[in-house]
Structure 1
Amino acid sequence: MNLIPLLPDTDPTAAFAYVNEQEIDRATFRAQVQTLAAALPARERVLNMCADRYWFAVTLFAAIARKMVTVLPNSAAPEHIAAVAAEQPGLLVLGDQAECPVADLPYMQINTLPPRMELAQAELPLIPFDQRVACLYTSGSTGTPMPHFKTFGRLRLAILAGAERVWGAAGQACSVVGTVPIRHMYGLESSVLLPIMAGGRMSGRIPFFPADIASALERMPAPRLLVITPFHLRKLLDADIRLPEIAVILSATAPLSAELAAQTRQQLGCPVLEIYGSTETGQVATRETDVETTWQTLQGIALEMRDDELWAVGEVYETPQMLNDTVELFSPQRFRLVDRKANMINVAGKRSSLSFLNNTLTSLPGVVDGMFCVPERGSGEEVERLAVFVVAPTLDRAAILAGLRQHLDSVFLPRHVVFVDSLPRDGNGKILARTVQALIASHLSGRD
């Protein structure tokens, strides 16, 4: 059996995390993990609801040491937590809040235990390569959230492959600031596991607004990596506030336009690496979006076409993983992404993708946010007609259509243009499938 130490063998005096203005070294993190692991009651599964990234990491690795699976819901909404608890009975909630953030489940506050520093010298547990350590749920952007289990050894392989690409772009290991949710695959890999397993430094904060992002970056030593989404990156650039030097920006969860990547390089003076991946696969490939149209898979990952379906293969997967995307495959390691299969649409015999249409809409001057959707056909309609929801306080319907007409075939012009004050996006900048259906039902039901 392939056994791997719980934590990498690194300089114990090296700075690891920055929490509440305090620098925490690797030895303290190791002692904190070992202390909590010894204190945890025996359970098969725990629900990690820590709000601070550092305490989330301590809790995750303590659970791994005790051979517990950490359940990571994609949302803290009560109805989703209730569904997860029903699907995975016997959960113990672990958190860094004084009161349990989840109703009707047993709770343990984990950040009140002082680290037993003698445990920093204790031998680390050896973790089997195939030990299941986490259960993550898909975001729900294309349907009902589904659980996916991750094993320790395969997560580690994926993180080291990603570090080779990201640290390579930065020139060395970085201080990592992430705006993305830590219970999402992208946030887990890039803002938690990357600094732990690949020698980086971690910010405990999860900033959202531009000023908070600037503050979190300022408190971390250079070189700095900013882990963000296209939606929040655009908001950050639009704020046009002073930022400390950033070595590289990492973007995922939604397509990043070449224009936004180029604007980022010009405005912030750093490259933008875009990640292609999913909850099911984790990170698969990267590209430097403003200079490359094709993607390169990470070390050890290859793509194969089997019976007209695209599969990712490699040691990072327990079994080959089917990808729900349309791509143009040039080699097992290089491809061009067209869009998610669910986003491909056909109107009057002409094909396009919702991602392309959304990028076109949000690039129009005066558009703050927006999205295309495909309502159900009305009675007697032979072809699908599109609609848009748009945040554009200074524009009207005619201006939106005139702007789109310059870039789109007329069949893709929306029949309905619905102006809203804001679009309900989650922490990754996504709009969930059920949210889209609720918007359609609320604003378009009964309209012809």
Structure 2
Amino acid sequence: MIDELLARYEDGATVAFGAAGTRTIEDLRRDLGIIAAALPEPEDERSILLVFERDRYLFVSALLGAIARGHSVLLPPNARRESIGDLLCDARVLGLLHDTGAGLDLNVDQLLEEPSSRPLFTPREAPETIATLFTSGTTSAFTEWPKTKAQLLGEAKMLGEHFGITASDRVLGLVSPLHIYGLLYTVLMPLLQGAAFSRETPLYAESIALRLRVDRPSVMIAVPAQLRAFSAIEARDFESVRRVFSSTAPLREEAAAQFLERTGLPITEVFGSTETGGIASRERTAGSKLRALPGVGVSIDEAGYLLVDSPFADERFGRPYRTGDLAEIDDEGALIHRGRADGIVKIGGRRLALPELEERVRSVQGIEDAAVVALKSRDGRGHHLLLAYSPERVKVERVRQHLMGYYEPSCIPRRIVSVDRLPREDNGKLTRAALLSLFDYTAEGRPLRRELEWQSDIKLRVPETYLYYDGHFPGYPILPGAAQLLEIVAEGMLRRGETRTIQRFSRLKFLGRILPGDELEFELRVAGDEAYDFFIRTPRELASSGRVHLREGLS
């Protein structure tokens, strides 16, 4: 597999470029061999976990090194510490390769810097499943998608040939290679075509503009949310670019038209998913339509669901693969995507398409991004809607009035919030859990409680959905120490009539967990004229203790 991937590179050819330095094909072959030699022998049903935050070249070296040794790899769903921690505890993980500051073996950056006494490793036959990726679930869960060599390399080869990627191209990736879109377009497609890829993954306007000016890429791999950054970049900075790809979410007509007008480049929009691979694409010009990619067949079943017959789709579910998308095929054979089936809800007896509502919001002048989530309602309306949009400078009332021109009052989102930026992941996806958190709901749609339940000055209860648990160690709830000091100790002192200002804490000990639903006892003892000792007890143990020092005089 390694020879197949690297066959198009001539001697001395550049593989990677960027601020971290240029790397050649000889460098890559040497480095993947060093990494392969440092890994343990493969074991059945176990994989190497790859966690990379900074350098795409190190990721590629690790990916190819693991495969050369005969390993399959796991690519984490995101870079959050709790997600990585969960995977590290998984019995299927045989080893770790990373470029982080976590202090764990094997750090690839350090491994390649140190002189190696190991002989270079001769690549072995790759396993049938070479990588397992993850997609976000409807809550905080993730779904695994194993990928075979034939699926990944077959699709990457098709994409490179279809879009005319050549050995002279320089590919600037603005998305993480840990996700299917980034893996295919910023790693495997360039490798198979003998092209060079960027080491860095710039995300903001200034850093993107710098890499455009310095590295002179010919191809860019982006997501729709990043077009906001593009608008702040001078048009002349795109002079070296001949093609820009966009995927993972719908591309707004206005955004595509503005980019075309400024740069003369139509954005190449790709529609696909982790489970199916690429499905269709189009050049975003006026009236352009989605056309199936080479080798991919599309059809519609009786319920209006999109069926995909593709050699790149997950083989476990047969062919054609029934997606969760609603679609139509027009008289010319073009694909019309109508959105996710779970994006259709019933409110007050009316069917409402959430993607359509989101587009209505995005059409308001000044709005750059928007998302709607539906929660089951208790009042008989079926669902009620929550809307978040960016940026904050656009007034909520203006958005509400705009929607009133299209929808019945019962279909207008019950709550609307504006934020500077929606909490999308680095692949452009916005999970339901992240969206619900903007409205103080749990991933399951239960409202978060902002206040503790005080029964007296010394007894209180922690609500099961207390706000401070949200996002902290999912599956292992811990009430953060800062929350204990602010919400229990400081509040408890006020309830005792202490009005002096807290200066500092000392002798802090966090000895046990405070769980959702715990009944607590709060004890306060005088420790001098300007200090108290506190103790917080659960039904199981002393959870925390410490000393509070007060300022002189009243606050």
The answer to whether residue 62 in structure 2 is matched with residue 67 in structure 1 is: no
CA distance in 2, matches of 1:442, 1:98: 33
Indicate conservation of the 8 Å contact 1:5/1:127, yes or no: no
CA distance in 1, matches of 2:278, 2:422: 27
CA distance in 2, matches of 1:251, 1:202: 17
Once the two structures are superposed, residues 167-209 of structure 1 have per-residue CA deviations (whole angstroms, 9 ceiling, x without a partner) of 27xx885211111122111111111111111222100001111
Which residue, 209, 221, 228 being the options, matches 2:222?
228
Indicate conservation of the 8 Å contact 1:255/1:355, yes or no: no
For the structure 1 residues 172 and 97, does the alpha-carbon distance in structure 2 shift closer, same or farther, using more than 3 Å as the test?
closer
CA distance in 2, matches of 1:347, 1:289: 34
The answer to whether residue 98 in structure 2 is matched with residue 83 in structure 1 is: no
Once the two structures are superposed, residues 217-273 of structure 1 have per-residue CA deviations (whole angstroms, 9 ceiling, x without a partner) of 223245x11111111112321555752322111111111122211111111221211
1:437 corresponds in structure 2 to: 436
Counterparts of residues 194-213 of structure 1 (less than 5 Å)? 194-213=189-208
Indicate conservation of the 8 Å contact 1:287/1:295, yes or no: yes
Once the two structures are superposed, residues 353-402 of structure 1 have per-residue CA deviations (whole angstroms, 9 ceiling, x without a partner) of 322322321331233543222233143x3353433223344443331122
Indicate conservation of the 8 Å contact 2:244/2:267, yes or no: yes
Amino acid at match of 1:219: V
The answer to whether residue 357 in structure 2 is matched with residue 362 in structure 1 is: no
Counterparts of residues 3-402 of structure 1 (less than 5 Å)? 5-43=4-42, 44-51=46-53, 52-97=55-100, 99-100=102-103, 107-111=105-109, 112-113=111-112, 125-127=124-126, 131-140=128-137, 144-167=141-164, 174-222=169-217, 224-238=218-232, 243-245=237-239, 246-305=241-300, 308=303, 309-317=305-313, 318=315, 319-320=318-319, 321-330=321-330, 334-379=334-379, 381-402=380-401
Indicate conservation of the 8 Å contact 2:8/2:167, yes or no: no
Indicate conservation of the 8 Å contact 2:297/2:309, yes or no: yes
Once the two structures are superposed, residues 105-160 of structure 1 have per-residue CA deviations (whole angstroms, 9 ceiling, x without a partner) of x62122332699xx99x9765546xx211110103467621111111122111011
CA distance in 2, matches of 1:416, 1:303: 38
Once the two structures are superposed, residues 23-73 of structure 1 have per-residue CA deviations (whole angstroms, 9 ceiling, x without a partner) of 222222222222322232224411111231111011101111112111111
CA distance in 1, matches of 2:186, 2:381: 47
Greater Cα shift, 87-96 or 300-309 = 300-309
TM normalised by structure 1 equals: 0.85
For the structure 1 residues 433 and 98, does the alpha-carbon distance in structure 2 shift closer, same or farther, using more than 3 Å as the test?
closer
Residue 344 of structure 1: how far off its partner (Å)? 2.3
CA distance in 2, matches of 1:157, 1:193: 10
CA distance in 1, matches of 2:310, 2:370: 38
For the structure 1 residues 88 and 256, does the alpha-carbon distance in structure 2 shift closer, same or farther, using more than 3 Å as the test?
farther
For the structure 1 residues 84 and 334, does the alpha-carbon distance in structure 2 shift closer, same or farther, using more than 3 Å as the test?
farther
CA distance in 1, matches of 2:301, 2:91: 34
CA distance in 1, matches of 2:171, 2:99: 21
CA distance in 2, matches of 1:167, 1:349: 49
Greater Cα shift, 351-360 or 143-152 = 351-360
Secondary structure of the structure 1 residue equivalent to 2:237? coil
Secondary structure of the structure 2 residue equivalent to 1:436? helix
Indicate conservation of the 8 Å contact 1:175/1:200, yes or no: yes
1:103 corresponds in structure 2 to: none
Indicate conservation of the 8 Å contact 2:167/2:194, yes or no: no
Indicate conservation of the 8 Å contact 2:298/2:308, yes or no: yes
Residue 82 of structure 1: how far off its partner (Å)? 3.1
CA distance in 2, matches of 1:174, 1:269: 19
For the structure 1 residues 6 and 189, does the alpha-carbon distance in structure 2 shift closer, same or farther, using more than 3 Å as the test?
closer
Greater Cα shift, 60-69 or 232-241 = 232-241
For the structure 1 residues 86 and 312, does the alpha-carbon distance in structure 2 shift closer, same or farther, using more than 3 Å as the test?
farther
Residue 161 of structure 1: how far off its partner (Å)? 1.2
Amino acid at match of 1:402: Q
Amino acid at match of 1:132: T
Indicate conservation of the 8 Å contact 1:230/1:251, yes or no: yes
Indicate conservation of the 8 Å contact 2:276/2:310, yes or no: no
Greater Cα shift, 270-279 or 384-393 = 384-393
Once the two structures are superposed, residues 78-103 of structure 1 have per-residue CA deviations (whole angstroms, 9 ceiling, x without a partner) of 32223333444343111124543xxx
Secondary structure of the structure 2 residue equivalent to 1:324? strand
Amino acid at match of 1:416: R
Residue 307 of structure 1: how far off its partner (Å)? 6.6
Secondary structure of the structure 2 residue equivalent to 1:355? helix
For the structure 1 residues 337 and 78, does the alpha-carbon distance in structure 2 shift closer, same or farther, using more than 3 Å as the test?
same
Secondary structure of the structure 2 residue equivalent to 1:73? coil
Indicate conservation of the 8 Å contact 1:136/1:147, yes or no: yes
Greater Cα shift, 431-440 or 184-193 = 431-440
For the structure 1 residues 388 and 96, does the alpha-carbon distance in structure 2 shift closer, same or farther, using more than 3 Å as the test?
closer
Indicate conservation of the 8 Å contact 1:371/1:389, yes or no: yes
Residue 297 of structure 1: how far off its partner (Å)? 2.0
TM normalised by structure 2 equals: 0.70
CA distance in 1, matches of 2:408, 2:232: 29
Where does the alignment leave 5 or more consecutive residues of structure 1 unmatched? Answer: 101-105
Amino acid at match of 2:95: L
For the structure 1 residues 184 and 191, does the alpha-carbon distance in structure 2 shift closer, same or farther, using more than 3 Å as the test?
same
Indicate conservation of the 8 Å contact 1:211/1:241, yes or no: no
Amino acid at match of 2:10: D
Secondary structure of the structure 1 residue equivalent to 2:346? strand
Indicate conservation of the 8 Å contact 2:377/2:383, yes or no: yes
Secondary structure of the structure 1 residue equivalent to 2:271? strand
Secondary structure of the structure 2 residue equivalent to 1:22? coil
Greater Cα shift, 303-312 or 183-192 = 303-312
For the structure 1 residues 234 and 262, does the alpha-carbon distance in structure 2 shift closer, same or farther, using more than 3 Å as the test?
same
2:519 corresponds in structure 1 to: none
Q: Tell me which structure has the larger Cα radius of gyration.
A: 2
CA distance in 1, matches of 2:300, 2:68: 38
Aligned positions, number: 432
Secondary structure of the structure 2 residue equivalent to 1:374? strand
For the structure 1 residues 215 and 420, does the alpha-carbon distance in structure 2 shift closer, same or farther, using more than 3 Å as the test?
closer
Secondary structure of the structure 1 residue equivalent to 2:164? helix
CA distance in 2, matches of 1:12, 1:216: 26
Indicate conservation of the 8 Å contact 1:303/1:333, yes or no: no
